[in-house]
Chain A
Amino acid sequence: QISHAMDGQSRKHRILMVSDFFFPNFGGVESHIYYLSQCLLKLGHKVVVMTHAYGKRSGVRYVTGGLKVYYVPWRPFLMQNTLPTLFMTFPIIRTILIRERISVVHGHQAFSTLCHEALMHARTMGYKVVFTDHSLYGFADVGSIHMNKVLQFTLADIDQAICVSHTSKENTVLRSGISPDKVFMVPNAVDTAMFTPSSNRLSCDEIIIVVISRLVYRKGADLLVEVIPEVCRLFPKVRFIVGGDGPKRVRLEEMREKFSLQDRVEMLGAVPHAQVRSVLISGHIFLNSSLTEAFCIAILEAASCGLLTVSTRVGGVPEVLPDDMIVLAEPDPEDMVRAVRQAIDILPGIDPQIMHRRMKKLYSWDDVAKRTEIVYDRAMQSSNTNLLDRLPRYLTCGAWAGKLFCLVMIINYLVWCLLEFLQPAEGIEEVPDIGPLHIHSDSVDDQCEAQRN
């Protein structure tokens, strides 16, 4: 058992991260994939990312650390998602898997069509597949029912799954019917080197509450409209800074006009990711009013900058921060005002530097990468099964759905056979591994020096 564990530790994986959501988009999933890939590269694994093209950004790009990204020229059709074509993405995915000598395919986000298609094709070809779910979804509305069915299909034959919180794990297991043994809980983390508190401590004469989020229904923008005027009325020395944009911004602007809060509430509009820290360190308290959240990286970023957090008690939020760093409230305006009052009372006792140091110990992307590595090792140990043994797993998905999924997998297998005939795997050339880019930049500088001399 020990020798097996040692083998698992020393084995390096070649991972393909697939998602519709990646840089140059900014968001939770995007930064998760980016930071996880960087830390896995540091651990010595080979990581390649595959996503769809963003405008003119198409083809192969290398980002920091030699991370290779394939921007496949498939147009997004709805909310950054690639058009779901079922089988037409098979040729490019097969080519990338063979030329990069991939061993594990890791898909991200249930809402990404490219992820589901890539996992289906990788499974047909016999690769090990891992899936990470980043969001919570409902059960009752039409969109959720459809999404859950697609998720059931993907997770029916997955090697391992990862969820970002225990609540998210419960949600995923209930939605997809996957066995809980296959689901690991690996939380997100925060880049504590980037999110540091201000060196000068802010004075407590005026208390500034910061809100940075997309102003949409799901993020509780309607709650903000109720909470902000009440807090401003009860606490004269409180000011608000609201960063972010979205369809609900209009409601917040109307609220400002209605209660004459132009000097108490500052609207910044969309805040570029690079400037989030400078906005955070200008405040004392961070207010999060999300109606649903699997994890919430935003409150991690705020805590890393030394802000006390007030948040709604939804989803995985209670699991994220220790009790002395966060004040929780029900998603109800009165309870949220009560929580803000409590936060203002305990604010003098908060030391941003101590909070930041605690966050450094609690969360790090290196830890997330090591835990994900264990998941990959476990996935590699699962046995290889052929198509006939795998088909019964899909039959459990439903009376009609099960048979439909089996048919889809059989057609997928036939498409694979056709591709093997038209373009044999031996004809696809393997790509040589290019080392970390900083080594090459040193040698280029030396060459320039020599030429100048």
Chain B
Amino acid sequence: MVQEQKGETSSGMYTYKHHGDKGVDIHEIFVKKSRTRVLLSYCGLILLLAIVCRSLLGKEKLCLESVWSVTFGILVAKCLQYKPVKKESVVIMPSFGVQLEIHFWSGRVDRHFVPIGKILKPLLNECVTPVTCYWSLALLLRDEEELKLVFQKFRPPVKMLVPIWRALCAFTDSECTSRHSTVSKPNRSEA
């Protein structure tokens, strides 16, 4: 596998790597695994286990109170659940489209392919929530009302998003011009 290393930057908990592989452009963002979150998720599971054991092994019969406590335990365990994401990558395939991938530490990979014809424009968007404001990279898609977020789980800093946005812009512009030139060719041959 011929990999062409094009760049790597690191900032806080995020690391950005850019490399090419057989003509395909790959941008990856890695995040460090958070030990605190792992610990908290185990605590949630232990709490749920303790509540279930208490309900089953306790001398009282199963009643409404035990149902509520088990439900509460499930909710807490769900909130503290941590499915750590190892990296999110953007694979730009010339003439085909863009593949968005989420790689988990467990080995599972979620992939989503966006064909080139569907992409109208890549955008750097400022998102405002009730407590904060951050940058996100999104794709404006044809015939779709909602933007497609490139990074679903992460909020990397804007200095890492800018080179990816530039690469996506160059990709969509080059596909646009090649489509325009193929459309104009028959006219020239007629003339």
Contacts and interface: CB of A to CB of B under 8 A. Distances in A.
A59 B127 contact: yes
B12 A92 contact: no
Given A427-B12, A429-B135, A451-B180, A72 B157 contact: no
Given A427-B12, A429-B158, A429-B159, A73 B127 contact: no
Given A427-B12, A429-B159, A60 B126 contact: yes
Interface in B149-176: 157-159, 176
A96 B133 contact: yes
Interface of A: 58-60, 70-74, 88, 91-92, 95-96, 99, 423, 427, 429, 431, 451
Contacts of A72: 128, 130
Contacts of B159: 429
B182 interface: no
Contacts of A73: 128-130
Interface of B: 12, 126-133, 135, 157-159, 176-177, 180
Nearest to B157: A429
Contacts of A58: 128
Given A429-B158, A429-B159, A451-B180, A95 B130 contact: no
Contact of B132 (A60, A71, A91, A451): A91
A219 B12 CA distance: 57
25 contacts: A58-B128, A59-B127, A60-B126, A60-B128, A70-B128, A70-B133, A72-B128, A73-B129, A74-B130, A88-B131, A91-B131, A92-B128, A92-B129, A92-B132, A92-B133, A95-B132, A95-B133, A423-B132, A427-B12, A429-B135, A429-B157, A429-B159, A431-B126, A451-B176, A451-B177
Nearest to B11: A427
A60 B128 CA distance: 7
Contacts of B133: 60, 70, 92, 95-96, 99
A25 B71 CA distance: 45
Nearest to A50: B128
